């Protein structure tokens, strides 16, 4: 497990984007061999997406041979709703890059048969060859995707009831009106993400500090689903200084002492112009 600690949100976002950029370019995707990327929504990955758009516009990165699978979607919210995750992804990322719409997969929260939709999503991931890199964020209660506290750590894509804390946290996107916040979602499972060849978790802000502590310094616990990734062979946590406030000083010092090794993953930054 790697823990990469950057000074602030902007630097953490840039480091994550450079890592994704290098992973895609090193993979050398083609029409016969797509790079498969799992993606999150929310405020945390926004800065990373902005940097990836910047790399595409500068001609250094292409998503032509990339397939994406998003983590989750609300149930009952139309795709056109400004707070649906379809809208988020297209407005903040997909429409600004060269990905084919047919290669950008997002769960359908309005499917007639939600269980069948979840099973089909798992099948699509399998048919795509599995996820090469799954990027995720977490909630203050340590949930990954919508795998709320108490979720099975071997769970698959399914319908999930949202915890009260999650509904309250998301109310800011719905005019702070709790009655407008969806109470159900479709989400990939912890086991779905664990099946990825590599997992990257973005954690920023002091309000996520206790969750990072639970993810790094304590044992695996289904009440803090992000802790499951301690057991993944290739997990990389990327955080800012604020998110480390609950960690022991020696833990922070240990991982900062490895930054010269971690930075070799993004330096040099690769470009498709050089291929």
Measured in whole angstroms, how far is the alpha carbon of residue 93 from the centre of its chain?
Answer: 13
d(CA 85, CA 41): 7
Q: One of 143, 232, 240, 262 is an active-site residue; which one? A: 143
Active-site residue flag, 148: yes
Q: One of 117, 141, 240, 242 is an active-site residue; which one? A: 141
d(CA 154, CA 176): 33
Active-site residue flag, 86: no
d(CA 97, CA 92): 10
* Helices 46-57/9-27 angle, 10° precision: 50
Active-site residue flag, 222: no
Q: One of 73, 122, 148, 195 is an active-site residue; which one? A: 148
What are the backbone dihedrals phi and psi of residue 259, each rounded to the nearest 5 degrees, phi first?
A: -60, -30
Contact criterion met (CB below 8 Å) for 271 and 234 = no
Alpha helices in the chain (DSSP H): 9-27, 46-57, 85-92, 114-127, 164-170, 190-194, 209-216, 249-256, 259-262
Active-site residue flag, 207: no
State the catalytic residues.
72, 141, 143, 148
């Amino acid at each position: 497990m790697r823990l990469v600690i950057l000074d602030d949100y902007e630097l953490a976002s840039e480091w994550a984007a450079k890592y994704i950029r290098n992973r895609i370019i090193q993979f050398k995707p083609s029409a016969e061999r797509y790079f498969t990327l799992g993606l999150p929504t929310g405020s945390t990955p926004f800065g990373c997406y902005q940097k990836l758009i910047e790399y595409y516009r500068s001609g250094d990165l292409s998503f032509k041979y990339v397939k994406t699978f998003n983590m989750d979607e609300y149930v009952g919210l139309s795709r056109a709703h400004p707070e649906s995750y379809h809208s988020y992804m297209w407005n903040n990322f997909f429409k600004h890059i060269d990905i084919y719409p047919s290669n950008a997969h997002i769960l359908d929260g309005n499917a007639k048969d939600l269980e069948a939709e979840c099973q089909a999503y798992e099948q699509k991931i399998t048919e795509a060859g599995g996820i090469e890199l799954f990027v995720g964020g977490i909630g203050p209660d340590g949930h990954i995707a919508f795998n709320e506290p108490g979720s099975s750590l071997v769970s698959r894509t399914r319908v999930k009831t949202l915890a009260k804390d999650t509904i309250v946290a998301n109310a800011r996107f719905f005019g702070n009106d709790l009655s407008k916040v969806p109470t159900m979602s479709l989400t990939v499972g912890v086991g779905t993400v664990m099946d990825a060849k590599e997992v990257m978790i973005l954690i920023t802000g002091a309000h996520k500090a206790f969750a990072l502590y639970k993810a790094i310094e304590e044992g695996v616990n289904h009440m803090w689903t992000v802790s499951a990734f301690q057991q993944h062979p290739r997990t990389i946590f990327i955080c800012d200084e604020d998110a480390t406030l609950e960690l022991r000083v020696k833990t922070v010092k240990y991982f900062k002492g490895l930054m010269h090794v971690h930075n070799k993953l993004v330096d040099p930054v690769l470009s498709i112009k050089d291929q």
